[in-house]
Structure 1
Amino acid sequence: MMTFDPEGLTRAQCDGDACVACHKKWPRPRIRIGRLPNEAVLFACPECADALVPEPAVENVYPFPRRVAFS
């Protein structure tokens, strides 16, 4: 989980009542996106959560070679 600096956040964002990125309050954001230094949980709306959370690095994934079924 990411740790956010509360300096630039509003009270609603710090209380988990608004999206940490876009300030949207309704519907209430439900995706846990990070924490404050005091361990308070921060939330984001689905659209912002997709943008804030990096895609996991996929390792050891290799494409299968193309093969001809009938020669």
Structure 2
Amino acid sequence: MNWGPPRTAHVTMTFDPEGLTRTQREGDACVACHKKWPRPRTRIGRLPDGTALFACPECADALLPQQDDTRSRPQRVAFF
């Protein structure tokens, strides 16, 4: 069972802290759009010192590599 945060990146990208603000480096703002509320929850990468960086869901979709989900999921229909 995976107890990590939802939508956690499996391939961790390392970001250069030079262009990030203090709130982005501390995980209180999205690394891409600077949005602070709601607090970003998707772990998108890390700094060279190992500190985790986060992104909002919209930016995370754009930044994370798309995973090939070759497994077919059964479609469930409530009514016919």
Normalised TM-score (structure 2): 0.70
2:65 to 34, 43, 54: 54
1:57 Cα offset (Å): 4.2
Instruction: Please list, as runs of the form range in 1=range in 2, the aligned pairs for 1:17-28 lying within 5 A after superposition.
Output: 17-28=28-39
Deviation track 1:18-64 (CA, whole Å, cap 9, x = no partner) reads 00000000000000000000000000000000000011246xx6xxx
- Following TM superposition, the consecutive aligned residue runs of length 4 or more in structure 1 with deviations greater than 3 angstroms are none
Aligned residues, how many? 59
The answer on 1:16 being equivalent to 2:27 is yes
Q: Which amino acid in the other structure matches residue 21 of structure 2?
A: T
Give 5+ residue unaligned stretches, structure 2. 1-11, 71-80
Q: CA RMSD in A?
A: 1.1
Share of identical aligned residues, percent? 75
Normalised TM-score (structure 1): 0.79
